[in-house]
Amino acid sequence: MASPTKSGRKKSVKSTKGSGLSGDKKARRKARRETYSIYIYRVLKQVHPETGISSKAMSIMNSFVNDVFEKIASEGSKLAKYNKRSTISSREIQTAVRLILPGELAKHAVSEGTKAVTKYTSSK
């Protein structure tokens, strides 16, 4: 699978050992940032194999996915509270998706979600 980097090759990691920057202390690693970039890229390649995406567009898509995730999780949480439950189940998520996403998009999301849950439970 091709990585979404510009040059298509892996970046080498340089060691700070022996550079004299921090004496005998270990260099701090950059904090990992969890993103949906890999998954957005995979879906893009499934739908349009010849199309690329800029880093700015990827950032916008990542923000969009995070926003939708937050809205669905929040609505699912409210639904669980209304029903005096402490766990958000697939039923709450399905109802939240129906409430938040418009028309045809909600139908497709529910069918894909149902398919994913069925696949997961059958693999257990």
pLDDT digits (tens, 9 = 90+) for 47-89: 999 999 999 999 999 999 999 999 999 999 999 999 999 999 9
**pTM for this entry:** 0.72
Count of structural domains, the chain: 1
Is 93 inside any structural domain?
yes
Question: Is 29 strand, coil or helix?
Answer: coil
Q: 4, 58 in Cβ contact below 8 A? A: yes
Q: Is residue 71 part of a domain?
A: yes
* Domain span including residue 98: 37-123
CATH number at residue 87: 1.10.20.10
Would you say residue 113 lies in a domain?
A: yes
